[in-house]
Chains A and B, each alone.
Chain A
């Protein structure tokens, strides 16, 4: 079943996610308005500035429909700023910063430092097998605590950097930046399986 996957397109690395998803065979579409959200099977929350996205989600009436879709079990893939939005708790954020809590993780914003400290590293991501995944961390958030239902797929320096919980995939880094689409493929496989179960 061809999945229709939205990318939250308020700001950030939207184009790269759309292109990675299309490359993997998904029907990928930007989501900026509540009507866009209603039309997708799953949602990618991209990298960008979480405070900017947070404000636009509120102002343009996306908060309630997004909470509703998440409560219905809409699958998500979230990267960097997107992970911050989906987390349970944000440390070092703005007090008015929005969190949806779909992923039971505590994250610390900009925990690896400022841009000077942004880095790349090869990760071993459990479901992807032996070949390492080149991960790009840009003023990245760090996952500092995970709930009991959260599975850690990859770690770096003792902290999780890729986690999975139900149909939510959360990443502290940017898989859309390297041309390696294995994590997008993994996400799409899960979305398609869920769609088939629902259709049956």
Chain B
């Protein structure tokens, strides 16, 4: 059983929902990332999404675009992101780590070589925003061979046929994008998400995480009532941006926010 499967199984038997915080690796500087990941786990994060910086983050709003730019100023390459995951694993071999980003850095490395290196580093899942299942056969095979889960997106525009296609290609969990738009926008409509998730559950038994637009304990709680996992990104990345001048304060500050989100989720379910 993969770390991701194990974690969702444990949460289910405890009747809890997963909290998945997202930060961009190397933002605002490389040495902050690993301490922040540990601090978020201590504060109640169940899985971690680590953003791989990319020069052209087409699906992201201004907050995560700026995070990519800050990280790229420090030349945070995909190799360095894997080093950070290795470093994290020295003190935590239980919390699943998912890399989230765009295809090109992995494409240029080569799928098979990247998959081996990522597995060695302790990566559990990969989500490439700009690669739908139609293009993913070779990629998915390479990840599978190295026991890395491939997480795919579904969206409000996805119909039954696409839900089926994504369910067949996905492992670990499925990430449902709550609205038509980019990360960080404020358009969450929980009831329309609930309708869509009901439709999706007819196609898959995988856990379903919901992300985009979750900004506080209240919205996290609302989403936790209908999803298996709650993904929170831009709120945390925005907090990092505000503390870029005092990076030492970032781990504790994010831990406070994660604890607050945790409480919102636990209160709701």
Q: Indicate, yes or no, whether A interacts with B.
A: no
